[in-house]
Amino acid sequence: MSDTTLQTAAEEAVDKSRSRPLTRWLPGSAIGWLVPALLIAVWELLSRLGQIPANVLPAPSAVAAAAVRLTASGELQHNIGVSALRALSGFVVGGTVGLIFGLANGLSALSEKLTDTTLQMVRNVPHLALIPLVILWFGIDEEAKLFLVALGVFFPIYINTLHGIRSVDPQLVEMGRIYGMGSWELFWRVILPGALPSMFVGLRYALGIMWLTLIVAETIAASSGIGYMAMQAREFLLVDVVVLSILIYALLGKLADSIARLLERLSLQWHPAYRR
Amino acid sequence: MNAVAAAISRREGRFPSAAPVQAHGNARGVPVTLRGLAKSFGPKQVLKAVDLHIPAGQFVAVVGKSGCGKSTLLRLIVGLEQATAGRVLIDAEEGRPSGARIMFQEPRLLPWARVRGNVEVGLDRSLATSERRLKAQDALAEVGLDDRGDEWPAVLSGGQKQRVALARALAGHPRLLALDEPLGALDALTRIGMQRLIESVWQQQGFTAVLVTHDVAEAIALADRILVIDEGRIAADLPIDAPRPRHRGDPALAALEGRILDRLFNDQGSGI
Ligand SMILES: Nc1ncnc2c1ncn2[C@@H]1O[C@H](COP(=O)(O)OP(=O)(O)O)[C@@H](O)[C@H]1O
Ligand SMILES: [Mg+2]
């Protein structure tokens, strides 16, 4: 009885792979790139046919040519490096402070009473609204960008760390105490792993805000970086460089998100939702 | 109620703390004594002056209506709650008992630790890693899960998770094991298997066992003695002398079950 069911199940599996040639030839991760590639091909085609005017949207090949040109002059690498460094340093500063406050307020009622109301009030000020003030304070120096990115990153990390710790199953905490865990062991073995899924949500949210803040800040007040490169190109009507800048932002954002996802999958292996 | 108090003091006289352990027990169990134990949550008095002596190695079952304070009693015994009045003496000593373990209806396993890691939670922190591993493996073998040590808890069935929780509780060789409806969430067949497992580890290890259950048949199958809690007091204290292993469907046990159920549902009926 069970033999025949097994056999049919196996046959079904074979049939499925036959009826889906796409999944047989492409590894799973490549399928996601199929639609973007198709879009680019259509875009190129329409540009060549003259359907999209080059001063509105240059062809992908023109954007690629701009990339080659700027790479050869060293401008592109320099600006990417500057932007990535700003993003990273702002993220580290804001993320660290957010993590510290999130942990402190999640673990200590006193700390929460002392600071949470203040932080929630500050949260209601959109950080990008501070740009004029920040320019007055720092001019267009690096501190301005660092400050804005750090502020933007702070809240998602803070809120989600706090929420993660608060939502740790109290029954597990009680279990830890019954089995004689001290505060330190309880934190590492019960509270932190329990808070981790929520902290990753905060991390990915923070990465999105990080790029968004940087784009705005670099576009308005900078003398280097991808955003500056785009604004310069706009003045000289170099649409291809403007489009290139936008694409680079998109790729950097995607890269950051992929790294976060990878970390998430590695550290949440126990979680049925992340198991493969 | 004076009659009950008198009965309790008579019982205490019968089981002085220095009493020799019972035939099936060994030196590992601890005696538990409650003196005038009371617990209130705000204005609500849950337990009123409970006096009780449990000799070392005895298996006691606690039954009673839902909300009558069974879990509270158990949590007081293992030191998870502070008594409003009265004392808990474990091995004639007061304070949080270190050799006590408690199992709940939920397995309370760490989802992010493998099965073996969860069992190691129950071991002494000062042991070497290799020794911890070995002992955890022994405890898993004891509950019949020696081949599941490398799994995540999420892939186990409810009964298997509860067996891991039992292995964790047993790993440190407790002298007192409190069980708060540990089988309440399991299906009937799994439950019978677990009852046999609990009985056999208790017979081997000789710890003192206090089992809270809503299943009177379960209490009768496992316990040396059944306590019926009502109105915050021990309303009945019944020794069960039937030999082990006990057979379900034994007419004498069935009659006893009927009497206990009557006692639970009919407050005036004090025929026991
Ligand atoms: N931490 C608590 N705070 C307030 N009331 C509680 C608490 N724990 C238990 N109680 C109350 O004490 C009574 C007994 O609870 P419990 O011991 O859990 O009953 P049982 O286990 O017999 O069903 C219930 O009325 C319950 O609402
Ligand atoms: Mg209960």
Give the domains, in start order, of chain A with CATH numbers: 60-274 (1.10.3720.10)
d(CA A50, CA A27): 35
- A178 CB within 8 Å of a chain B CB: yes
- Higher pLDDT residue, A141 or A26? A141
Q: B154 to chain A, minimum CA–CA distance in Å?
A: 7
**B15 contact A CB<8A:** no
pLDDT at B222: 95
ipTM reported for the complex, 2 dp: 0.83
pLDDT at B27: 53
Question: Does A61 have pLDDT greater than 90?
Answer: yes
For the residues A44-55, what does the mean pLDDT come to?
90
Q: Of all protein residues, whose CA lies closest to atom 26 belonging to ligand 1? A: B67
Distance from the CA of B72 to the center of ligand 1, in angstroms? 6
Specify the pLDDT at position A20: 57
How confident is the model over A221-230, as a mean pLDDT? 89
Contacts of A193 (CB under 8 A, 6+ apart): B110, B112
Pairing of strands B32-41, B225-230: unpaired
Q: How far is A168 from chain B (nearest CA, A)?
A: 11
| pLDDT of residue A111 exceeding 60 | yes
Give the pLDDT confidence score for residue B88 in this predicted structure: 94
Query: To test ligand 1's pocket by mutation, which of B72, B102, B234 has the most ligand atoms within 8 angstroms of CB?
Result: B72
What tokens were used for A124?
Answer: 């209601």
d(CA B2, CA B143): 44
- Inter-chain contact B98–A180, Cβ cutoff 8 Å? yes
CA A171, A175, A180, A183 torsion: positive or negative?
negative
- Residue of chain B minimizing CA distance to A172: B108
| Model confidence pLDDT, tens digit, residues A160-195 | 999 999 999 999 999 999 999 999 999 999 999 999
| Plot region of B48 (φ>0 → left; ψ -120 to 50 → alpha; else → beta) | beta
- Shortest CB distance from A272 goes to which of B108, B113, B154? B154
Compute how many other C-beta atoms are within 10 angstroms of the C-beta atom of residue A118. Answer: 9
Predicted confidence at residue B24, as pLDDT, reads 43
With an 8 Å Cβ cutoff, is B154 touching chain A? Answer: yes
B66 lines ligand 1 (CB under 6 A): yes
Residue A6 has pLDDT above 80, yes or no: no
Rounded alpha-carbon distances, angstroms, from residue A233 to A52, A78, A238, B97: 20, 16, 5, 74
* pLDDT given for residue A5 in this prediction: 39
User: Token digits for B178?
Assistant: 């409190």
Report CB contact under 8 Å: A189, B152.
Answer: no
Mean pLDDT of chain A: 88
Q: Is the pTM of this model over 0.90?
A: no
Q: How many angstroms away from the CA of B128 is the closest CA of chain A?
A: 17
Q: Is the pLDDT of residue A9 over 80?
A: no
pLDDT digits (tens, 9 = 90+) for A124-148: 889 999 988 998 998 878 889 999 9
Ligand 1 pocket member B249 (CB < 6 A): no
Say how far apart CA A28 and CA A45 lie, in whole Å: 27
Task: Please give the helix or strand (H or E) that residue B162 lies within, else none.
Answer: helix B158-171
Listed residue (B55, B104, B93) closest to B213, CA to CA: B104
Give one DSSP letter per residue of B25-77, joined into a string: --TT---EEEEEEEEEETTEEEEEEEEEEE-TT-EEEEEE-TTSSHHHHHHHH
In chain A, residues with a C-beta closer than 8 Å to the C-beta of B112 are 193-194, 196, 270-271
| Helices A34-48 & A60-73 angle (0-180, nearest 10) | 100
Which residue among B78, B106, B113 sits closest to A171, beta carbon to beta carbon? B106
Any chain A CB within 8 A of the CB of B161?
A: no
Residue B250 CB: number of other CB atoms within 10 A? 14
- Which of A6-15, A62-71, A166-175 shows the lowest per-residue confidence on average (mean pLDDT)? A6-15
CB atoms < 10 A from the CB of B9, how many?
11
B212 Cα: distance to centroid of ligand 1 (angstroms): 14
Are A172 and B110 a contacting pair at CB < 8 A? yes
Condensed to tens digits (0 to 9), the pLDDT of residues B10-35 reads: 333 333 333 333 434 445 899 999 99
Give the number of other Cβ atoms within 10 Å of residue B228's Cβ.
Answer: 22
Atom of ligand 1 at shortest range from CA of B68: 22
Query: Chain A within 8 Å of B41 (Cβ-Cβ)?
Result: no
For residues A87 and A6, what is the distance between their CA atoms, to the nearest angstrom?
53
Q: Do B80 and A174 touch (CB under 8 A)?
A: yes
Pairing, β B85-90 against β B32-41: antiparallel
* Residues of chain B below pLDDT 50: 1-26, 269-272
Which residues of chain B from 171 to 190 reach within 8 Å of chain A, CB to CB? Answer: none
> Are B154 and A270 in contact (CB < 8 Å)?
yes
Q: Are β-strands B85-90 and B208-212 bridged in parallel, bridged antiparallel, or unpaired?
A: unpaired
A33: pLDDT confidence band, cut at 50, 70 and 90? confident
Please check the confidence at residue A100 and state whether its pLDDT lies above 80: yes
pLDDT at A30: 80
Among B102, B110, B152, select the one facing A189 at the smallest CB separation: B110
pLDDT at B62: 97
Query: What are the structure tokens assigned to B90, written together?
Result: 């474990």
For residue B64, which atom of ligand 1 is closest to its CA? 22
Picking from B98, B110, B120 by the largest number of A CB atoms within 10 A of its own CB, the best residue to mutate is B110
Looking at chain A, how many residues does it have?
276
Q: What is the pLDDT, as a whole number, of residue A89?
A: 96
Rounded to the nearest angstrom, the minimum Cα separation between B165 and chain A is 11
